[in-house]
Amino acid sequence: MKFHKLLLLLLLLSFIVSCIPQRKTIYMRDVSGKKSYINLYTKAFEVTEAYTIQPRDYVYIRVLTPDEAVASLYNLDAGQMNMSNMGNPANMKFQSYQVSDEGDIDFPYVGQIKVIDLTLKEVKAKMQDILKNHIDTFTLQVQLTNTQFTILGEVNTPGQYNMNKDQLTIFEAISLAGDLTIYGKRKKVKIVRPSTDGTKTIMIDLTDVNLVDSQNYYIQPNDLIYIEPIRAKMFGFGETFSLGLVTSLISFFLLANSLK
């Protein structure tokens, strides 16, 4: 009788530690009706121009003018550039200007230009103001070419990914990594974001619908996204706990009981 109670206790323990409440795995739940709920998110006020240039960024700047001889003076490897590879970030990076630790780029026939803490729109306006003293008729293409982010922790495919568009949401970033595992802590996702003022850590809750369209809904280049494991995974209760460990324990007790 004592053996059967022990066996039942093991099965019950397996069920408790291996079950994860459904509410903890559902994204974008509306819980604003709860008395204890506090909305920590503010409406997005900047999306397209939220990112500012940081040291060691790569900025692609191309001068377009009817006079190809003039354009060749201001464009890196202009003679090798063609329409087939202009849109490829991997190719464009080799023809981009790396921002120094001091926040400058070294532009041909102009010299050092301070671009740190400027948005791409501001960089373009600054370059236009400088180049109008050198070129009569021209247009500019300005683009950031190091648009990678890193995602680690409880996702199915952790690693570094390229942002495939200018504004990438946190859910789009997670989808590139194959979604969170069942053991990912959805209520406390950490985004580590470098800036000229130092590294900032942002905590977001993927289960809160108010995250959508907030300022923290969009990731930025160079972001590190970390998904913590829930407590069950931290204590070693992995996907094979119920089937592997408990089956072994049952086999052991059955063997012990047969030897009595």
Would residue 109 count as lying in a domain?
yes
Domain CATH number, residue 39: 3.10.560.10
Would residue 92 count as lying in a domain?
yes
Domain CATH number, residue 111: 3.30.1950.10
Would residue 78 count as lying in a domain?
yes
134/167 same-domain check: no
Look up the domain containing 15 and give its range. 2-20+237-258
The three-state (H, E, C) secondary structure of the chain, written as one string: CHHHHHHHHHHHHHHHHHCCCHHHCCCCECCCCCCCCCCCCCECCCCCCCCCCCCCCEEEEEEECCCHHHHHHHCCCHHHCCCCCCCCHHHHHCCCEECCCCCEEEECCCEEEECCCCCHHHHHHHHHHHHCCCCCCCEEEEEECCCEEEEEECECCCEEEECCCCCCEHHHHHHHCCCECCCEEEEEEEEEECCCCCCEEEEECCCEHHHCCEHHHECCCCCEEEEEECHHHHCCCCCCHHHHHHHHHHHHHHHHHHCC
Give the pLDDT confidence of 51-80 residue by residue, as tens digits: 999 999 999 999 999 998 999 999 987 444
pLDDT higher at 141 or 42: 141
| Average of per-residue pLDDT across 21-35 | 74
33/86 same-domain check: no
pLDDT reported for residue 140: 96
Would residue 124 count as lying in a domain?
yes
Give the pLDDT confidence of 166-216 residue by residue, as tens digits: 889 999 999 999 999 999 999 999 999 998 888 999 999 999 999 998 989
155/225 same-domain check: yes
Would residue 77 count as lying in a domain?
yes
pLDDT reported for residue 29: 86
Would residue 53 count as lying in a domain?
no
43/154 same-domain check: yes
137/68 same-domain check: yes
Would residue 216 count as lying in a domain?
yes
State how many domains the chain has. Answer: 3
In this prediction the pTM is: 0.77
159/177 same-domain check: yes
| Average of per-residue pLDDT across 18-27 | 62
